[in-house]
Amino acid sequence: MAEGLKKARVVIREDECKGCGLCIAICPEGVLFEQKHLNRMGYHPAGYRGEGCTGCGFCFYQCPEPGAITVYKKGYVEEEVA
Amino acid sequence: MAKALIKADSFYEIYERKDGIKDVTHYCPGCGHGVLHKLIAEALDDFGIREKSILISPVGCSVFAYYYFRLGNIQAAHGRAPAVATGIKRVHPESVVISYQGDGDLAAIGGNNILQAANRGENITVFFVNNAIYGMTGGQMAPTTLIGQKTTTTPYGRNVVNEGYPVRVCELLATLDAPVYIERVALTDAKNTSKVRRAVRKALQNQIDNKGFSLVEVLSACPSNWKMTPVQAKQWVEDNLIKQFPLGVYKDLTDQIKPKKAEKQVFSVDGLKEKLNIPMEEEKYSTSVKEAKEFRNMKLKIAGFGGQGILLLGLGMAQAAMQAGYNVSWLPSYGPEMRGGTANCHVNISKERIGSPLVSKPTVVIAMNLPSMEKFQSEIEPGGLLLYDTSLITQKPVRDDIKVLGIPATQIADNLGNTRIANMVIMGAFIAYTSVLDKQAVINALPFFIKRKNLIPLNEKAIVEGMNYVLSSN
Ligand SMILES: Cc1ncc(C[n+]2csc(CCOP(=O)(O)OP(=O)(O)O)c2C)c(N)n1
Ligand code: SF4
Ligand code: SF4
Ligand code: SF4
């Protein structure tokens, strides 16, 4: 059996992000930030600093865009979603 | 336990129906609709009910919810989602039916719709997005707009003197006996959002368990029309909306209620016939009708006192003509004149298709009392027919550009022993004069509109007497 993720991780699909900033405002760890560049819709997309996500999921449930944020929790096994 | 929070399966991967960019919703940045969509989709995934779920999109910003949800979708007229949901649920009791509505949709134009559906205790789930404004149309006042809140239609702020007070939907509906579960939640911080998630799931579970009507009101941000950033808008929900609309459970009978068995109501044709007293055997339709040219497309107004069988006469004509192969319509008038003890009905008998059951320019007027003759003779098309009861109307008609046929119908009926069959004497006179129907056609139709079978011979006799009167005087 494959070993799960050692650390939680958040993935933001910049193309689907509307730059509303709600995820950034809610993150208890402060690991999300507004990026300088614009995406295809002209928004400054949110980004992940790359470290420190605990996988609490708060950002996922703040984000209005169905596909913009994915949160992988600690122990998540990649094969679970084929 | 889920180890990842991923876009739900109950959403389409690509929103094919949407114009432009097809992997992003049409909602504004920070709009509450998107979050609620996600919570609903997640619950449908987790409960494994996506395949049997039907979501009714309202009119409002979420009018295009069907772009996104990979379920059965229907879009309803403004405010009518609860009625549409009712229909669907009753035809498909095994399905999970969701009425998704905004505050303009649910609390303004659809106010009575939701009230009645809740009061009937329909086994549906209602998600009510209260953002205190009309979002889609550009920020007009909603019933839920706060006192002092500026909208395009309350530019100085909502003033109770002019616009009344914000409507509290949960509190109102919770006074009803039937609803099972009513809760108000808010899409704000993580704690409140998790309460929204729980409420969404409970409201769906109740329906799955056949418990009855559940409604979740979701206080939700509309940053665009509130003219705030998404983060400010969330704070505004916390600081202002929640004050006016306190969060909490307003009704919860979930644990007391016994599941109602979902039963599909089946109506058999024979069962209905029995209930409505319609003969089981289909009568052979008469075809031996001469076509009187001048009466090909007949428009009748039949009028008299209540109790003279005016409506029944019209109904009988329409029934007999229908069985004889005509297109027909019968429109009883229940207008204010009913109160004065008079009755009338409109009948169309036509070889062509009938556009409207309403008759405003009759080709035939049947008057069984004086007020009716006075009222309607002026409406008759030139060349048309006025048929009237001379036993009750001693005055002569004034028109000289129409055909006139007087018959002492009530007298003839009295001679037969019952004044109440004067209407059938008139029927006989009418068919003899116009030859639009033959006697057999009317006799065939009698059992369809005369409920008491023992009265049929007397009615037949009256018809024959009416015919004889016309034929012998010609
Ligand atoms: C019969 C009818 N009347 C009026 C309208 C115009 N109209 C469209 S959306 C809307 C209000 C929507 O507001 P709400 O229900 O609060 O939804 P939101 O857009 O805020 O999500 C109105 C009045 C319409 N489409 N149909
Ligand atoms: S999951 Fe929690 S910790 Fe991780 S980015 Fe989202 S809000 Fe921050
Ligand atoms: S909440 Fe979603 S849309 Fe808003 S900034 Fe974060 S990722 Fe982008
Ligand atoms: S107008 Fe308001 S309710 Fe409509 S999509 Fe935009 S933020 Fe949402």
B246: its two tokens? 């306190």
Q: Are B227 and B293 members of one domain?
A: no
User: CB–CB of B461/B422 below 8 Å?
Assistant: no
Across B81-98, average pLDDT:
96
List all residues 6 or more positions away from B177 whose beta carbon is below 8 Å from its beta carbon: B119, B121
Least trusted range by pLDDT, from B135-144, B221-230, B335-344, B399-408: B335-344
B108: its two tokens? 């303004």
DSSP code per residue over B191-253 = HHHHHHHHHHHHHHHHHHTT---EEEEEE---HHHHTS-HHHHHHHIIIIIHHHS--EEEEE-
Within-domain flag for B20: no
- Alpha helices (H) in B48-75, listed in sequence order: 65-68
Q: Are B71 and B188 members of one domain?
A: yes
Identify the CATH number of the domain in which residue B444 sits. 3.40.920.10
Question: Whole-angstrom Cα distance, residue B141 to residue B112?
Answer: 19
Q: Are B243 and B305 members of one domain?
A: no
Tell me which residue of B17, B59, B57, B16 sits closest to B37, measured CA to CA.
Answer: B57
- Whether pLDDT at B287 is above 50: no
pLDDT at B285: 47
| Buried/exposed B252-291: b ≥16 CB within 10 Å, e otherwise | bebeebeeeeeeeeeeeeeeeeeeeeeeeeeeeebeebee
Question: Whole-angstrom Cα distance, residue B96 to residue B99?
Answer: 10
Q: Are B284 and B204 members of one domain?
A: no
Question: Whole-angstrom Cα distance, residue B294 to residue B304?
Answer: 25
- Interface check A58 vs B, CB under 8 A: yes
Identify the CATH number of the domain in which residue B96 sits. 3.40.50.970
CATH of domain A9-71: 3.30.70.20
Least trusted range by pLDDT, from B243-252, B286-295, B355-364, B399-408: B286-295
Q: Are B307 and B205 members of one domain?
A: no
The tens digit of pLDDT for each residue in B369-413 reads: 999 999 999 999 999 999 999 999 999 999 999 999 999 999 999
* Torsions phi, psi for B227 (to 5 deg): 60, 55
For A16, the closest of B24, B35, B189 (CB atoms) is B24
Ligand nearest to the CA of A20: 3
Q: Which of B252, B271, B295 is the last residue of a domain?
A: B252
Least trusted range by pLDDT, from A45-59, B265-279, B316-330, B345-359: B265-279
Q: Are B237 and B373 members of one domain?
A: no
Q: Are B218 and B305 members of one domain?
A: no
pLDDT at A60: 98
pLDDT band at B338 (very low <50, low <70, confident <90, very high): low
Element (H, E) at B423: helix B422-434
Total tally of structural domains belonging to chain B: 2
The whole domain housing B434 covers 279-473
pLDDT at B278: 72
Q: What is the pTM of this model?
A: 0.74
Within-domain flag for B116: yes
Q: Are B75 and B172 members of one domain?
A: yes
Within-domain flag for B265: no
Within-domain flag for B58: yes
Across B21-50, average pLDDT:
97
- Whether pLDDT at B263 is above 70: no
- Whether pLDDT at B185 is above 60: yes
- Whether pLDDT at B188 is above 90: yes
ipTM above 0.85, yes or no: yes
Question: Whole-angstrom Cα distance, residue B340 to residue B336?
Answer: 8
- For B228, which residue in chain A has the nearest alpha carbon? A20
The tens digit of pLDDT for each residue in A25-76 reads: 999 999 999 999 999 999 999 999 999 999 999 999 999 999 999 999 999 9
Across B327-331, average pLDDT:
96
Nearest CA to ligand 2 atom 2: A56
- Whether pLDDT at B336 is above 60: no
Across B56-62, average pLDDT:
97
The tens digit of pLDDT for each residue in B102-142 reads: 999 999 999 999 999 999 999 999 999 999 999 999 999 99
pLDDT at B275: 83
Is the sign of the CA dihedral B105, B111, B113, B117 positive or negative? positive
Domain borders along chain A are: 9-71
- Whether pLDDT at B451 is above 90: no
Helices (H) and strands (E) in chain B, counts: 18, 14
pLDDT at A78: 76
Q: Within chain A, what is the greatest distance between any pair of CA atoms? A: 43
pLDDT at B102: 98
Within-domain flag for B370: yes
Q: Are B384 and B284 members of one domain?
A: yes
List all residues 6 or more positions away from B109 whose beta carbon is below 8 Å from its beta carbon: B78, B79
Q: Are B351 and B288 members of one domain?
A: yes
Q: What separation in Å is there between the alpha carbon of B6 and the centre of ligand 2?
A: 14
Q: Are B128 and B247 members of one domain?
A: yes
Provide the shortest C-alpha distance from residue B125 to chain A (in Å).
Answer: 21
**Residue B125 CA from chain centroid, whole number:** 21
A16: its two tokens? 């689907």
- Interface check A7 vs B, CB under 8 A: no
Q: Are B463 and B355 members of one domain?
A: yes
pLDDT band at A82 (very low <50, low <70, confident <90, very high): very low
Helix axes B439-449, B456-473, angle to 10 degrees: 150
- Interface check A26 vs B, CB under 8 A: yes
**Residue B244 CA from chain centroid, whole number:** 34
- For B39, which residue in chain A has the nearest alpha carbon? A61
- Whether pLDDT at B218 is above 90: yes
Within-domain flag for B17: no
- For A27, which residue in chain B has the nearest alpha carbon? B190
pLDDT at B289: 47
For B68, the closest of A18, A66, A70 (CB atoms) is A66
- Whether pLDDT at A15 is above 90: yes
